Amino acid sequence: MRVVGLMNAGLMLALFLSVPALAQDNEIEDIRAAIDELRADYEARISELERRLAVAEQNSTQAVYAAQQAQSMPSQPADSGSSAFNPAIGVVFQGFLTGYDGEPQEGEGFAVGETELIMSANVDDKFAAYLTAALAFEDGESELEVEEAWVETTALPAGFSARFGRMFSGIGYLNAKHSHTWDFADQALPYQAFLDGRYVDNGVQLRWLAPTDLYLEIGGEIMQGEDDPSGLGASSVFTNVGGDVGVSNSWLAGASYLDLDATTSLSMAHFVWKWAPQGNWKERNFVFQTEYLERRGTSTESGWYAQAVFQPIQRWRFGARADQLDLDGDDPRRYTVMMDWSNSEFSRLRLQFARSESAFDDGNQWGLQYIHSIGAHGAHTF
Amino acid sequence: MRRLMLTLLFVLAPGLASAELEIFACEPEWAALAEEIGGDLVDAYSATTALQDPHYIQARPSLIAKVRNADLVICSGAQLEIGWLPALLQKANNRKVLPGNDGYMEASSFVVRLDATANLDRAKGDIHPQGNPHIQTDPHNIAAVARALSERLAKIDHVNSEHYAKNLKQFITKWEQALSGWEDLAEPLRGKRAITHHKSWVYLLRWLGIEEVEHLEAIPGLPPTATHLAKLTTEFSSGGADVIIRSPYQHAKPSEWLSERAGIPAIILPLTVGGTEGATDLFSLFDDILERLIEVMGDA
């Protein structure tokens, strides 16, 4: 600025010195015009310089941001050929300590539940694959059981999806849920009685999701079944509907039909309701679910369960469940309460107490359970 | 039979293809941005609200149905939604919006992220290896995502690319004007120190030149513990922090407890659009944030 001022002054002086003392008015006007022009020219150049300075300052901020990024970016490990494209791998550890009242019974004491090894990845642009293997130690022997090993399409049009391999059937609500996601240490009675825990089989599943705002899914399966020489002995069809009520409530309802073999079939219905204030699941939430199962074979048997789990504050949950079976000659019933504490989403400790009543036996059972997972942990379904 | 078909049509019609581009945003800030850039040509839906912790969302049926019908899914990314978004994508049977395709967009991949780390150990709590995902609290980041979003919309909807470019230009002009206003307003905040409940504010604090001195959570993602809060009380009773900041969905008790005992004002800042009464869109989001900060720390 000072240089320009000096130049301005110098120019004015030069102009005055070069003009005769007796200059006329219009010559003074010319001089003034020339000075104004010069001033305008310099001011334009100054504002141009100021603009370039502002841009440079902004660029330097960007440079600082970029430098921070370069500093904070983790160094990527070089692709080492065979270990590239690794699947997501996780392991879930479970263990139990159970006790019964009265006489010592089988199953009491410490037991390590299934240790699940879960792996999944995209196969290519059209398929994804998923494996769950369960490592168990039973009767003094180690067992490796393939729970699920399936391939699923990812690119079918019109809302379709197909899955093939060994899978937990899509019937019901609890059927496809892994034991480490259960809200109680043991499976609901109707599932134990009619499906031996859950229905898992080899086969093909096709699902269709309707293009509506209301969630509507229809699916069907053709599975191997048991004792059928054709290898296509079992089939199922199922549907799920769901939506929200306001911001705080979500629900899911469904019905399923499973044809186990020529003589046996299973009909099921389920309903789930989840609540969290403002839909903020983290702090406080409540879940209610119930299922009804009816097996028609040589005779008709049915059963149901209903459970509720409440999380009043982060980490603590309290649950209660009632199961009942309606069998030939017996109506077993069980009441269970549980309390669990989760240090994080990856570890859980549970205390559970149950009272069973049936025509043959009444008894109480208590249990402690731990569920801990490491590695990649897939997103949980509703 | 005809009546059945008609009824079916009425039931299905609302969900059938409409002229607008269906945008599924994981968080409200991206739905708001999509509306600024897309205008009347898009219908933007936000999966979460500002009152919900986006780490813990149920992958519920209504969201699956929305993803099923979406033309574009836009989320913060950097594993913020890792607990629920993959379940939605897997069940929605919509190949257009799967990662790797044009219909899938992670906002945080278009900005420079802080705190990326190769040290992945869950003993350290909730770690985001690709960096802090809460990028929406720095208006410079919003501008960068706006440019990327406009390009992406033009890519999946070529016919209307001029419209998106025009909206982008209008938005950026308004935004840059607002930005210089905010930066002038925020001068007195430089050099102040803040304690935050969770590391959700790193981009905002960097932009404003406020130092983040401590967190209420001893380990990110796990709730504040009594021991840690007691330690903070001793450390900051005689100065060292000017404000305690938390998001609307975070538990009030820890901030209020520390505020009472250490004599530091505790405030709520909206983490995204809708977080407070004043934060109704992207512009008023930052107006509200600055107003709240200046009210507490504005006197130099």
Return the bridge partners of A236, or none. A221, A258
Q: How many CB atoms lie within 10 A of CB B252?
A: 12
Return contacts of A218-222, CB within 8 angstroms, 24+ apart: A219/A170, A221/A169, A221/A170
Distance CA B204, CA B164 (A): 28
B125 to chain A, closest Cα gap in Å: 8
In the chain, the amino acid numbered A355 is R
Interface contacts (A, B; CB < 8 Å) = 151
**Confidence band (pLDDT; 50, 70, 90) for B1?**
confident
CB spacing of B115 vs A211 below 8 angstroms = no
Among B10, B18, B26, B58, most A C-beta atoms within 10 A, so best to mutate, is B58
Among A125, A212, A273, most B C-beta atoms within 10 A, so best to mutate, is A212
pTM: 0.85
**A206-228: burial string, b at 16+ Cβ within 10 Å, e else:** bbbbbbbbbbbbebbbbbebeee
Asked if B270 and B290 count as a contact pair (C-beta separation under 8 A), the reply is no
Q: How many CB atoms lie within 10 A of CB A58?
A: 11
**Confidence band (pLDDT; 50, 70, 90) for B285?**
very high
**A118 closest CA partner among A149, A94, A90:** A90
**A341 closest CA partner among A320, A379, A314:** A314
Express as a percent the part of chain A with pLDDT over 70. Answer: 84
CB spacing of A344 vs B221 below 8 angstroms = yes
Summarised one tens digit per residue, pLDDT across range A125-145 is: 999 999 999 988 777 788 899
Mean pLDDT of chain A: 87
Place of tokens 């141009």: A48
State the complex-level ipTM.
0.91
pLDDT of residue A63: 61
Dihedral angle over CA of B164, B167, B173, B176, nearest 10: -70
**B27 closest CA partner among B128, B96, B95, B105:** B105
CB < 8 Å to B86, chain A: 378-379
Partner residue opposite A212 with nearest CB, options B15, B85, B118: B15
**Confidence band (pLDDT; 50, 70, 90) for A73?**
very low
CB < 8 Å to B88, chain A: 379
Summarised one tens digit per residue, pLDDT across range B55-92 is: 999 999 999 999 999 999 999 999 999 999 999 999 99
pLDDT of residue A75: 41
CB < 8 Å to A160, chain B: 93
CB < 8 Å to B68, chain A: 159, 209-211
CB < 8 Å to A378, chain B: 86-87
Residue A8 scores a pLDDT above 70: no
**A90 closest CA partner among A379, A374, A380:** A374
CB spacing of A278 vs B249 below 8 angstroms = yes
Mean pLDDT of chain B: 93
CB spacing of A280 vs B53 below 8 angstroms = yes
Residue A348 scores a pLDDT above 60: yes
B81 to chain A, closest Cα gap in Å: 9
pLDDT of residue A74: 42
CB < 8 Å to B91, chain A: 209, 217, 381
